[in-house]
Amino acid sequence: MLILLPPSETKRPGGSGRPLDLDGLALPGLTPQREQVLTALEHLATDAEASARVLKLGATQRHEIDHNARVRTTPAIPAVDRYTGVLYDALDAASLDPAGRSWLGRHVLIHSAPLGPVGALDRIPVYRLGASTSLPGVPPLRRLWAGAVTYALAEAGAPFVLDLRSEAYAALGPVPATLASAYVRVVAEGEGGAVRALNHFNKHAKGALVRRLAVERPRIRSREGFLRWADAAGLRARPGRGQELELFA
């Protein structure tokens, strides 16, 4: 099973040791697109006013420009440790034992805007760039990434893909139709059985789900296999529309 996670706008600062190594990232076929976006970010960072406008930075966020200026040289840390926020706090990868972290490294890709999907343990720097940003000097990110990411995922050839990304990041690299997959929506059941999508608890539920998987490390190779595991684990999930799965928070 391969799990696709969204990134987070909030990131843990700092790091130590070596900087970003594009050759060491998962899905190496994406290196040309990664080079394009990083070069554009570095060039944009030479103009503080343009950076603030394009990246929609407020007065207290101007330090983010320096992150982009040094995106290739600043120390990097594993992606799953770099991101913070509701999903990553619930996942709490730092507290997993070595076997759990190793499982994340083998089974989880985190879809960043500047680097595309990277392995959970791939080392990445701090940066500022969102999925919807129109970055000068490169095509729209959806056009730049979508076909290349879909092809890279097809080449990876996972037997089953569990897509936990937001719609914005899923658009940057749709799962190829040749792979068995399921797109997860986190929902709650209200009065009369009405189902509604969740926002905050959506992120928490996804982080908690991936943590549970990393702890138990089941062998899941299909949508039906995931549903059987979820039922045995005491989680409530069911088929939704098309290729979707509904996970009840």
pLDDT along the chain (249 residues), means of 10: 97 92 97 98 97 94 95 97 97 98 98 98 97 95 98 96 97 97 91 68 95 98 97 95 92
Q: Please name the amino acid found at residue 63.
A: H
Q: Where are the domains of the chain?
A: 2-248
CA distance 233 to 175: 26
Q: Please name the amino acid found at residue 27.
A: L
CA distance 55 to 49: 10
Give residue-wise pLDDT tens across range 54-90.
999 998 899 999 999 999 999 999 999 999 999 999 9
Give residue-wise pLDDT tens across range 14-44.
998 899 999 999 999 999 999 999 999 999 9
Helices 141-156 and 31-44, axial angle in degrees (round to 10): 150
Residue whose C-alpha is closest to residue 115's, from 82, 155, 160 = 82
Please compute, for residue 4, the number of CA atoms within 13 A of its CA located in the half-sphere on the CB side. 31
The confidence score (pLDDT) of residue 197 equals 74
Structure-token pair, residue 13? 């600062």
